Amino acid sequence: MGRTNRKRRSTLANRAIAASAALALGGGGLLAANIYASAGEGKNSTRNAQTNAASVATIKCPDVGQQLTDVPKGARAGVDKELAQLDQQVTEAYKRLADTRQAQAGDTGFVNNAILGPLKSKRVATIDRININIKRAGGKAPQGADQLAECQGMGADQINAGEGQGQNNGGQNGNGGQDQGNDGGQDQGDNGGQDQGGNGDQGGDGDQVINGPVAADFQDITQVQPNGGAKGVGGNGLPANGDGGSTGTFTTSCGTNGNDNHNSDNIIVAPGVDNGAQHTHDYVGNQDNNAFTSDQEFLQADTSCQNQGDKSSYYWPVLRLQDGTAEFDANDLGGGAEGNIGKILEASAAELKFVGNKAGDVVAMPQALRIITGDAKAFTNGLANANTNWSCTGFEDRQLTDKYPICPEGSSVVRTSFFQSCWDGQNIDSANHRTHVAFVQEDGTCANGFQAIPQLQARLVYDVPAPQIENGQVVNPFAVDGFPDQLHKAITDHNDFINFFDENTMNEVVDCINSGQDCQ
């Protein structure tokens, strides 16, 4: 398989990075951690303390980047590099968590003293450097560095508790009640029964892998009640179009990444940082997307889009089948060295459509506008920026947000993303990469004086064999790539877009949408 050409990274540097990752993360492959937890040990307080220490599933840290809403442009490059360093520190701490289960079982203070304490010290220093960068550029640094530096060990029954992670079986999940996530078992919430959701403890008795996914991360789509179709989480990702306003569409055909254009950079969140995403992306459209690509290079690059006026970059985390396949990145950062393993699946269809606004006309997007929808850290961050829709062909009136679908024979997996379609009218990006755009309100209008722009709707279809649930274990699961500490949860799916339509083609997009035509 190929991958995006990194013009500023030598082959020797690549090998050195991969070697250090393999050393740091145990030679590549799945990050494993053992949970020594079992039900029915209430009579032995010492054993219970050991169990509690060992059942920390992952690490939750404040997302510093989302707190930075006012970073001067002159400071952003330095700040983005420090934010990427914070991500790397969490990954290293998670690896230590995963590798020290036996020590945790014998020492109830181990996680705090040996993992979270040192992590906080590193984060304090990094946040201090962020603040210095901001102040030197004339900005105002955020307050409360100590609070932003403080991380928590998230236990088996704590992750996103009470936050309402989507709808499964037509009911609400996340309130401490029953999670009917799949036929591999139930999370009985408060009653001390088996926990098979959210933490990788699949049976409660013995050594389990927690990098995920696990059986409870999957849901039989035929058992989900119709819930109105794709609409995102918590109001995020509402479709902007309707029967009124601007009713046209513009569809761009850019392929399914058949030429294997991959890397683990993220030019939006971590420009200038190798492996800034810590997971591998599929790229369609612009063919020169890596951490170092300038806007001018985007404009000069080739595109996989049939309409050569569209040099936009569309990218998303790859979907993998965890079948033991050694992919090209099996020992690389972003791949197997950070827990992203198995066969990369090429979508059978990638439908990229721009639609209008049900309250009125849309205006042209500015060139180089950057939009991220969804949150790669939604499992520990919560649902504020989550925007996921999982379903199956033939069942798209039934959507899952925090589960992967198990599709019946002849049906394919579907990932759908609705992008923000309100723009502040001034900025192509913002310090936290979110506040310059927003989702429409329920009535389709844009709040705070924002302007309606064409809404990108991305629908990806995959012909992937349905995983089997056997004795509470999932066999040959599929999952999106992600940060190691996010445990490959479905809620972390996300999608990215950088607009490089030329002016004439963008005007055509707007005209088609506002006049009610369907163009491509």
**Per-residue pLDDT averaged across 313-323, rounded?**
97
Distance of CA 406 to the CA centre of its chain: 20
DSSP 461: E
How would you class 42 by CB atoms within 10 Å of its CB: exposed for 0-12, middle for 13-18, buried for 19 or more? exposed
pLDDT, tens digit, 9 for 90 and up, residues 51-72: 344 478 899 999 999 988 889 9
- Identify the pLDDT of residue 241: 83
- Identify the pLDDT of residue 70: 85
What mean pLDDT, rounded, does the chain reach?
A: 82
Kindly tell me if the per-residue pLDDT of 384 is higher than 60: yes
Alpha helices in 289-388 (DSSP H): 295-300, 378-381
In the chain, what is the greatest distance between 2 CA atoms, to the nearest angstrom?
73
Pairing of strands 343-345, 319-321: antiparallel
Locate tokens 């925007």: which residue? 387
- Identify the pLDDT of residue 156: 52
Kindly tell me if the per-residue pLDDT of 196 is higher than 60: no
Q: What is the 3-state secondary structure (H, E, C) of 183-221?
A: CCEEECHHHCCCCCCCCCCCCCCCCCCCCCCCHHHEEEH
Higher pLDDT, 483 or 192: 483
Contact between residue 511 and residue 365 where contact means Cβ atoms under 8 Å apart? no
- Identify the pLDDT of residue 343: 97
Token readout for 387 is: 């925007």
Summary count for the chain: helices (H), strands (E): 11, 27
Report CA Rg, the chain. Answer: 22
Nearest Cα residue to 130 out of 71, 217, 188: 71
Which segments of 266-359 are extended strands (E)? 281-285, 313-317, 319-321, 343-345, 349-355
- The full DSSP string for 288-303 is --STT--HHHHHHS-B
Cis amide leading into 72 (omega within 30): no
pLDDT, tens digit, 9 for 90 and up, residues 340-354: 999 999 999 999 999
Contact between residue 310 and residue 503 where contact means Cβ atoms under 8 Å apart? no
Q: How many CB atoms lie within 10 A of CB 12?
A: 8
Higher pLDDT, 495 or 9: 495
Query: Which of 27-31, 167-171, 331-335, 390-394 shows the highest mean pLDDT?
Result: 390-394
Kindly tell me if the per-residue pLDDT of 238 is higher than 90: no
Distance of CA 134 to the CA centre of its chain: 27
* Phi, psi values for residue 319, rounded to 5°: -100, 130
pLDDT, tens digit, 9 for 90 and up, residues 85-106: 999 999 999 999 999 999 998 8
pLDDT, tens digit, 9 for 90 and up, residues 456-506: 999 999 999 999 999 999 999 999 999 999 999 999 999 999 999 999 999
Alpha-carbon distance 120 to 89, whole Å?
Answer: 10
Alpha-carbon distance 485 to 384, whole Å?
Answer: 18
Handedness of CA 96, 379, 312, 287 (dihedral sign): positive
pLDDT, tens digit, 9 for 90 and up, residues 143-175: 776 789 999 998 755 544 333 333 333 333 333
- The full DSSP string for 463-501 is --PPPEEETTEEES-EEE---GGGTT-GGG-EEEEE--B
Contact between residue 290 and residue 350 where contact means Cβ atoms under 8 Å apart? no
pTM value?
0.83
Helix axes 117-136, 73-99, angle to 10 degrees: 170
Token readout for 390 is: 């999982």
Alpha-carbon distance 505 to 251, whole Å?
Answer: 12
As a 3-state breakdown, the chain gives helix, strand, coil percent values, each rounded to 5, of 25, 20, 55
Contact between residue 425 and residue 451 where contact means Cβ atoms under 8 Å apart? yes
